[in-house]
Structure 1
């Protein structure tokens, strides 16, 4: 088995997104695509040249085959993915098209194949050939089995001395009780190395309001690096020795905010795996988050190395021109995980 730079796990779904603006029940035309926070991250890392694996369970159906083929086209390793043998199906979501604001999303994932993933399915050897584990707070919300799987993966990778990143990706509609969500997500977050909440998520999870106070709460638990997404203001980061705010990038037109948080995570993780500094990592996170909101699909804006470099160079030239004109530049990047 070849070594992996990173591995992740979760539920991917077949997304049917509206091709016309309007309420979902009035839309007649949809296009099929791949959706799922963790597979978005896997694709983003693969496009940047990393060897990355994605693990899950999909239905023994046409949509399960679609998911596997789409990930394989992107260069994501799917060797450890299971197919259901109990009749459970691949999850589906519908997404509306909007001119402004966030799209309406309807899930059909209860009892899905991925939700049956349990600790007995955990492929220890596969995960331990990866140098890094990325997790989100979505799998533990889907079922008690997937929650147990999440803790099993975290424990195994910690014991193996791997680095672990965590994006809470709070989905209130997936949890039966908010208190359970806060408790479970904090249990996971307190054991990772890199933590990437949005400001509203951090406020919900800690009861604190200011970015630095939220970051301190997790640093005190042993997290090494906390980055808090601030939307148009960029992102606040803090470690034991460094802290600061990195401004976002100017966005010409917001097309779709879904997937921006995943792009942000891709930017930070890829930069850290490349050996860049914390500030440089947050800058890359802001950049990929900005690219994501300017594209229609969850993964369409995730760049290659060449596309990322071109965007950064263009932004640098723009900022230089604005500086010469004496303007006060404030970049904008929609990054909140919804």
Structure 2
């Protein structure tokens, strides 16, 4: 079954579209060793969920987060952050003997990041384990869209990943659309073949793929973008947005192949969540009826603002205005 994203229902205020974002939120520490650190929260799908909630507020889009947390004060604080940002938490599991994962970010003079992680025993790893997860897994079929990433898959136990894949398959048969951001992190997988198997299974269920070129080139060994697009056609993915950092975005969809130039940024502070924010803006635009080209433009504009601020989540007052008219200066690739 192949579903074309452009044919799906669009958001409206009387019947909002519901999006479930599956993944892990972690404790984020930022600074340099031996100095004072600032503490907040972040994670790829959580970042996307916050930006999607901000862009969807008042526009008929509801974002819910699906994960597991502990019963500690850090878990309580991150959950309050989600609520403050309008991200729903009704399908968040509390695992009392677990804690959230933790990571440290250091950035260089060009804003490039270096991460150090402590997440092996994180609660989110067990979100789909055991009989307690059955209700959460069934609930995925109640959403119009489910958004997840390669990190969402990587952190799960084998049992949890298998159960999630089964739930996504059933949900898609019932009309739920699946959105996948590849975010490949080799250190989270036992080996590359295991990752390729999981990604291949996931892509066969995917309607919209938001792909970072460097990640897929490493994981699948694609020689060039043409080989990637041919592979995604074989997987049955109906729409692909290929992110290439500060370079243009390439789109392959039912209406053709397009290239959308990136925004030029003079001073990059921190590239954390650049890809997550692009994905959120792209999806928000598509759910409001925008074309793939316009969606990529939204993605570039939000990402360009995000990289000019420290941390994954920029202040709400710094969000760019994206409600611009449709533009036509998009060249066929």
TM-score tier (shorter): 0.7 to 0.9
Contact 2:183 2:211 in 1 (8 A): yes
* Structure 1: segments with no counterpart, 5+ residues: 321-338
Deviation at 1:265, TM superposition (A): 0.6
Contact 1:199 1:229 in 2 (8 A): yes
After superposition, residues 6-45 of structure 1 pair within 5 angstroms as: 6-18=19-31, 22=32, 26-45=33-52
Q: Would you say 1:77 and 2:88 are equivalent positions?
A: yes
Where does residue 99 of structure 1 map in the other structure? 109
Where does residue 321 of structure 2 map in the other structure? 308
Contact 2:301 2:320 in 1 (8 A): no
SS at match of 1:56: strand
Separation in 2, partners of 1:27, 1:299: 25
Deviation at 1:124, TM superposition (A): 4.5
Structure-2 change in CA distance of 1:146 and 1:296 (3 Å): farther
Separation in 2, partners of 1:60, 1:227: 38
How big is each residue's C-alpha offset from its partner over 1:279-300, in whole Å with a ceiling of 9 and x where there is no partner?
Answer: 1111111112212211111111
Contact 1:14 1:34 in 2 (8 A): yes
Contact 1:115 1:145 in 2 (8 A): no
Deviation at 1:74, TM superposition (A): 0.4
Contact 2:69 2:95 in 1 (8 A): yes
Contact 1:215 1:228 in 2 (8 A): no
SS at match of 2:160: helix
Deviation at 1:157, TM superposition (A): 2.1
Deviation at 1:149, TM superposition (A): 4.0
Where does residue 190 of structure 1 map in the other structure? 204
Deviation at 1:226, TM superposition (A): 0.8
Structure-2 change in CA distance of 1:151 and 1:170 (3 Å): same
Give RMSD over aligned pairs: 2.3
Separation in 2, partners of 1:177, 1:303: 42
Deviation at 1:126, TM superposition (A): 3.4
Contact 1:93 1:106 in 2 (8 A): yes
Length-normalised TM-score, structure 2: 0.85
How big is each residue's C-alpha offset from its partner over 1:298-332, in whole Å with a ceiling of 9 and x where there is no partner?
Answer: 1116778x73338x69xx9xxx9xxxxxxxxxxxx
SS at match of 1:245: strand
Structure-2 change in CA distance of 1:201 and 1:103 (3 Å): closer
After superposition, residues 132-147 of structure 1 pair within 5 angstroms as: 132-142=145-155, 143-147=157-161
Contact 1:202 1:228 in 2 (8 A): no
Contact 1:224 1:239 in 2 (8 A): yes
Deviation at 1:192, TM superposition (A): 0.4
Separation in 1, partners of 2:91, 2:65: 8
Equivalenced residue count is 305
Deviation at 1:214, TM superposition (A): 0.6
Separation in 1, partners of 2:210, 2:317: 20
After superposition, residues 111-190 of structure 1 pair within 5 angstroms as: 111-118=121-128, 120=131, 121-122=133-134, 123-124=136-137, 126-142=139-155, 143-190=157-204
Separation in 1, partners of 2:287, 2:266: 30
SS at match of 2:235: coil
Separation in 1, partners of 2:141, 2:16: 9
Deviation at 1:127, TM superposition (A): 2.5
Contact 1:59 1:89 in 2 (8 A): yes
Where does residue 268 of structure 2 map in the other structure? 254
How big is each residue's C-alpha offset from its partner over 1:8-48, in whole Å with a ceiling of 9 and x where there is no partner?
Answer: 11111111111xxx4xxx33211111111111111011111
Separation in 2, partners of 1:125, 1:7: 12
Contact 1:46 1:74 in 2 (8 A): yes
Deviation at 1:77, TM superposition (A): 0.5
Structure-2 change in CA distance of 1:5 and 1:150 (3 Å): same
